[in-house]
Structure 1
Amino acid sequence: MSRKMLITLIVLMAVVLSGLILVQGSMIKSASDIREEQFNQLVANALDMVAVQLDLDEQRLAREYASRGIVPGQKNNPSEFSNVFPRNSLSQATVSFQLSYSQGSVYGQMEEKYKAEVADSVKVSAISQMQRFLEESLEQERRRQQWLRDADWKNYDILLEDRPIEERIDSARLEMFLRNALAQTEIDLDYKYAIKNSTLGKDRIIFGDTDYKPGKKKEYPQLLFQNDYTGSKPNYLNIYFPERRRYLVKQTGLTIIPTFILTGLLIAIFAYALMVIMRQKKLSNIKNDFINNMTHELKTPISTISLASQMLQDGSVTNTPSIIEHVANVINQESKRLGFQVEKVLQMAVFNEGRLKLKFREFDANKMIKTVTANFELRVNNKNGTLHTEISADNALIKGDEVHITNVIFNLLDNAMKYSKDIPEIWVKTENRKDQLVISVQDNGIGIAKEHHAQIFDRFYRVPTGNVHDVKGFGLGLSYVKKIIDLHNGTIKVESALNKGTKFKIYFPQINN
């Protein structure tokens, strides 16, 4: 896959994922807003029910005062009665019946009377007068009922409106109305309420919960006694729910949580896919670089061997013993070199398949370092360089495969030589730190940039050098070093910077005698 195609694919995936996240976020917000609006409407309905109940309570009280003819807050002295029925005037009477009814109102006292008399001069039977009396009594009751229906009890209601708000509302009944209204709307939440008076833009709490402190929490106000004859007063019933936000999140959780989970999984899958693509791209580049290097490393000895054998075959040179020996030596050295390169590749295959078997035994690392540096010093001297050896470890006894650990040190020294500047200068040192043996190899070479420190131990990885390929290799040496050290329960650290050389430190667990 080309770099342009890879970038295009990543951009398209990012755009699609971003769009999907925006759509999911919009849906979540819409669901949350709808749930919040429903909750607000339920609370508003409950408060409206409470306000209606308070109005009905005051109307009931007004009717009670009207039926008793009592003016709230005043001494009720009945005024002169006004007769509804005309009084009968008879000159003489020996039998007298009287029915009276009185009803108080804001404007005075109403009284109805009926009186029947039997005169001596008129011969009317007592039974006839009694029948007439009963008929008039029924008529009077009918008229009384009609008067009650037409009585202006609202005038009493108007008088009640002038009372202070704390006298107009019974706190016990208010709390009962609130509980019942919220129960009907199925809002099962703790709440705090207060009756407030808002005059000249200043709120004053008249009564309510002593711990009414909404802070930044949403308050729900309800104007009280909106149907007052003289206009509603600035009295409000305010309520808030301390756990409102948590309740709304819980109610919308069935919608939000699965969406969050699916969106998170989608982001994780996208990130993983992107990581795999980048890794495969990187491995592809490393593989191509490895093939190119391997082709060059294998082609050179093959070409040399082919050229030497052709010289012997076509007789282009005099086949003297010395020439034959020299050509044979070249063929032998190049064959060894070719075998060594092939062995490196096969060795890494053995590591990857887990078929490598190490032979552990106790040995002295100081002696091993002295042997390695003595053999390697000739190569350094051929470049007019210097190999410094500092054996400072008092206890250098470790347990491991001496052959492979020796190869590790050779690999590090070989890298120090290849990446050194014109005149190589290399330091090899051993020392003890706590219960560990530390072996360090340092050079004065070109160094390694910090961003490559974590990758130099990867298989086939080589630090990029642009178009300069003066140092050849497969990128297998440090990978081999890292695997061998890990198998010995050791660690390796690198300290390096560009143009300041490189220092490798190997930590092995030492044997304490």
Structure 2
Amino acid sequence: MFSILLGAAVLALAGLLVLQTIWFRSAYNVEEQQFDNKVNLAIRALTDDLLKAEGDSASVIRPIVKKATNAYYVDFRHALSYNILDSLLRKNFARHDIDLPFELTIYGAQPGTIVLGNYYSLGATSKDHATCGSRALPASTPMDFMITFPGKRADIVGGMKFWILSAIVFLVVLSLFAFLVIDLMKQKKLSEIRTDLMNNITHELQTPIANISIASEVLRAGTGKMDEHKSLHYANIIYEENRRLKFQVEQVLQTALCEKGQLALIKTEVNVNTLVEEVIRNFQLRVQHRQGQLNCRLEATKPVVLADAFHLANIFYSLLDNADKYSPDKPDIVITTTNTLSGILIAIADKGIGIRRDVQRYIFDKFYRAGTGNMHDVKGFGLGLTYVQKIVQAHQGKISLTSEPHQGSRFELYFETC
């Protein structure tokens, strides 16, 4: 329903915009036609006065030719006196309320031969153009002339103040509508994301809670009857699911703190190699359960960085969690550490489904989750990589991704060493 109403509103505004454009164009054409009529009447009166001044009232002047939107050519073909032309031109323009600056060009008998040309500004008199007036025109030679108004278009538009004001008001209304539409679409998208997030949170938290509940009930029911191997197995389930639950809750809370700028880091000297080994030990059981492998090559000889050990371990765990979830078959994950000139590079690579290049720029956006064909195949909040990026940035580090579809992904983290 929202899409239908939005589409109808957009179509209505588009129709109004088209109508506004048509109305404005029509109004401009009317104004231009009125100006052309005034000029034609003034020039007709001018040619009649010129012929009378020359004592020739029987000749017929050909129709005025509009060479351009603002240029009017008179095929006069009679001898002209500049002083008489200048005087009668001003007189007739004043009589017909034409007060725009204009250019006057007089042509000789041969086509295209300019005998005299000048620019007449608003309010100028014949004295202002004495130099042109002193140039004698050839006597008894047929002449034509053309009058051009350089500021015609600007004058017409300037006279359409009501239409311009209405167009500005309409554009403002259109801009406000566009802003509201964009905002509504964002709100709708956020509402959908919020709903999906709540559903995902409910599902993700229910799973470890259910597993913990089942394992604890089995332990309670088998107290004194269960062998040590089975007890350890269920205890490990409770431990791993509890750790998973804690990580999920912590991820949501820490991301919220990052968004508010309230994240407090407790930085100490941390040995990255040692921290990676600890994370791998805790994560190894999960990979082995899927019959996968998790290998590490800790080649950094200067592994100490100034960082918050808790958050650093969390981002390693988050990247390993992604590598595991997005490996549809047996996970094959490799984590390496190497030194650069001034820091340490930690790389976590997998051989999973990979990420398309066209969506790689979105993966760090909050709530974004790359499609996997069936979005329900891989569960999550869409906060993992957002959290990772913010923690890396809070440590003045860098994160990059190299990935190809069906060839896996490789995340690289860089931190300066102590």
Considering the TM-score relative to the shorter chain, is it more than 0.5? yes
Structure 1 residues 236 and 362: CA distance shift in structure 2, 3 A: farther
Report how many residues are paired.
Answer: 378
Aligned to 2:253: 346
Matched, 1:283 2:190: yes
Instruction: Give unpaired runs (5+ residues) of structure 2.
Output: 62-75, 120-141
The counterpart of 1:51, out of the listed 44, 47, 67, is: 47
Report the Cα distance in structure 2 between the residues aligned to 1:320 and 1:409, rounded to whole angstroms: 39
Match of 1:31 in 2: 27
Amino acid paired to 1:175: D
Of 25, 38, 41, the residue aligned with 1:42 is 38
User: Does the alignment pair 1:450 with 2:357?
Assistant: yes
What is the distance in 1 between the residues matched to 2:336 and 2:236? 36
Q: Answer yes or no: is the 8 Å Cα contact 1:196–1:238 preserved in 2.
A: no
Give SS of 1:239's match.
strand
The Cα shift of 1:408 comes to 1.5
Q: Summarize deviations over 1:93-121 as a string: whole Å, max 9, x none.
A: xxxxxxxxxxxxxxxxxxxxxxxxxxxxx
- Judged with a 3 Å threshold, the aligned counterparts in structure 2 of structure 1 residues 450 and 19 are, in CA distance, closer, same or farther, namely same
Superposition pairs of residues 35-184 of structure 1, within 5 angstroms:
35-59=31-55, 168-184=79-95
Residue 404 of structure 1 aligns to which amino acid in structure 2?
A: H
Aligned with 1:424 (options 324, 331, 349): 331
CA distance in 2 between counterparts of 1:460 and 1:355 reads 20
Contact 1:308 1:330 in 2 (8 A): yes
Contact 2:79 2:143 in 1 (8 A): no
Q: Distance in 1 between matches of 2:34 and 2:411?
A: 68
Work out the CA distance in 1 between the residues paired with 2:199 and 2:391: 26
Check the 8 A contact 1:377/1:387 in 2, yes or no: no
Q: Is the contact made by 1:28 and 1:255 (CA closer than 8 Å) also made in structure 2? A: no
Aligned partner of 1:132 in structure 2 is none
Which residue number in structure 2 is paired with residue 300 of structure 1? 207
2:9 corresponding residue in structure 1: 13
Give the distance between the partners of 2:91 and 2:274, measured in 1 at CA. 93
2:370 is aligned to 463
Tell me the distance in 1 between the aligned counterparts of 2:249 and 2:389.
20
TM-superposed CA distance for 1:490, in Å, is 3.9
Paired residues of 1:192 and 1:241 also in contact (CA < 8 A): no
Asked if 1:238 is matched to 2:146, the reply is yes
Structure 1, 14-23 or 454-463: larger mean CA deviation: 454-463
User: Percent identity between the aligned chains?
Assistant: 35
Query: Which of 384, 406, 409 is the aligned partner of 1:477?
Result: 384
486 and 42 in structure 1: CA distance in 2 versus 1, 3 angstrom threshold: farther
Structure 1 residues 256 and 432 mapped into 2: Cα distance closer, same or farther (>3 Å)? farther
**For residues 52 and 341 of structure 2, what CA distance do their matches in structure 1 show?**
90
Of the three residues 486, 492, 500, the one matched with 2:407 is 500
RMSD of aligned Cα (Å)? 4.0
Q: Deviations over 1:483-509 (max 9, x none)?
A: 21233344433332321212223354x
Q: Which amino acid aligns with 2:199?
A: N
Say if 1:440 and 1:506, in contact at 8 Å, map to a contact too: yes
Q: State the shift of 1:29 in Å.
A: 0.6
Cross-structure match for 1:191: 103
State the TM-score, normalizing by the size of structure 1.
Answer: 0.61
Structure index of larger Rg = 1
